Amino acid sequence: MRNVDVHEITKIVKRLSIEACIIANDSLVDSFKRSQAKEESAVGKAIFQQLLENVEIARNENTPICQDTGFTVVFMEIGQEVAFTGGLLKDAVNAGVAAGYTEGYLRKSIVKDPITNPVNTGDNTPAILHTDIVAGDKVKITLMPKGGGSENMSRIKMLKPADGVQGIKDFVIETVKNAGGNPCPPIFVGVGVGGTFDYVAYMAKKALLRPIGKRNADPKIAKYEREWLEEVNNLGIGPAGLGGRITAIDLFIEVYPRHIATYPVAVNIQCHANREKTFIL
């Protein structure tokens, strides 16, 4: 067994919270440049220029890329040879989020009881924590601050098996179309297919963590990713929703076996501020 003190986790989560909100990944910046070159609309090109300047200013002035620094979603892959010491893992993650959002001057956007007492918790906790037990003795922590505007445009649907792949595709395109300019295009589209009602939404979110441009390992699914991305971009929504060639920069599909009676599909939309940072302990 390898012992890991949860105070280490707190420190890492704190650092990842601040870095994710302020420093855009190079892969994201590169995708803006490539998309700007492909964009045909003059306004669309100007929007990409603003986005490129924005990530530069954010990095230089230590200011968040976007004021909505999100609901903090933490994915942890925990090697099954790891034993945590010094406290509860969940508490350690939340302590890291609280410290990061407070000391990093990030916006606190979480209210306590959604129905009866919607007062701000004051430190952006609690986080959403997904854990996966894997082989080995490492801990991989990925932190994704997820904005509310794009989350609001995400959808889930329990299709009938008879609806088939056409039904899935129609739902994906329709979801992006209905979202229009609201989720801050150019967007990233995460699609989950299969599993259960809860698991399909988790897959759609996790799909957004895949590196930009990396296709699903299954060539048949990879083909759908390319085709549906093209159809999404044929909608003409464009950067900031003002019309243009690039509505989505990438589209990722994750699949899981399904029940013979069900055909769940989830579409999680991510804004252009596609923020995530990873650390392996």
Partner 1 sequence: MIKLNAPLKLKDIRELKIGDQISLSGVIYTARDSAHQKLVDLLKVGIELPFDPEGSVIFYVGPSPAKPGQVIGAAGPTTSYRMDPFVIDLMKVGMKGMIGKGSRSAEVKKGLIEYTGVYFGATGGAAALLAKTITEAEVIAFPELGPEAVRRLVVKDMPLIVVNDCHGGDLYEKGVEDYKK
Where does this chain bind partner 1 (CB under 8 A)? 40-41, 43, 46-47, 50-51, 53-55, 57-58, 61-69, 105-109, 120, 147, 149, 152, 180-182, 184, 234-238, 240-245, 271-273
Cα 1 to Cα 82: distance, rounded to the nearest angstrom: 6
Tokens read off for 150: 């794009």
Cα 237 to Cα 47: distance, rounded to the nearest angstrom: 13
Q: How near is the Cβ of 141 to partner 1 at its closest, in Å? A: 23
The residue (of 195 and 239) whose beta carbon lies closer to partner 1 is: 239
Cα 260 to Cα 99: distance, rounded to the nearest angstrom: 46
The residue (of 182 and 262) whose beta carbon lies closer to partner 1 is: 182
The residue (of 244 and 264) whose beta carbon lies closer to partner 1 is: 244
Q: How near is the Cβ of 43 to partner 1 at its closest, in Å? A: 7
Note whether 248 and 187 are within 8 A (CB): yes
Cα 178 to Cα 231: distance, rounded to the nearest angstrom: 14
Q: How near is the Cβ of 174 to partner 1 at its closest, in Å? A: 15
The residue (of 3 and 120) whose beta carbon lies closer to partner 1 is: 120
SS3 118: strand
β strands within 86-220, DSSP E: 111-113, 117-120, 128-134, 139-146, 155-159, 187-195
Q: How near is the Cβ of 221 to partner 1 at its closest, in Å? A: 24
3 burial level (CB within 10 Å; 0-12, 13-18, 19+): exposed
Tokens read off for 55: 């990530």
The residue (of 115 and 135) whose beta carbon lies closer to partner 1 is: 115
The residue (of 150 and 203) whose beta carbon lies closer to partner 1 is: 150
Q: How near is the Cβ of 69 to partner 1 at its closest, in Å? A: 6
Cα 231 to Cα 229: distance, rounded to the nearest angstrom: 5
Q: How near is the Cβ of 204 to partner 1 at its closest, in Å? A: 20
The residue (of 113 and 257) whose beta carbon lies closer to partner 1 is: 113
Q: How near is the Cβ of 147 to partner 1 at its closest, in Å? A: 8
Residue type, 21: C
Cα 278 to Cα 269: distance, rounded to the nearest angstrom: 20
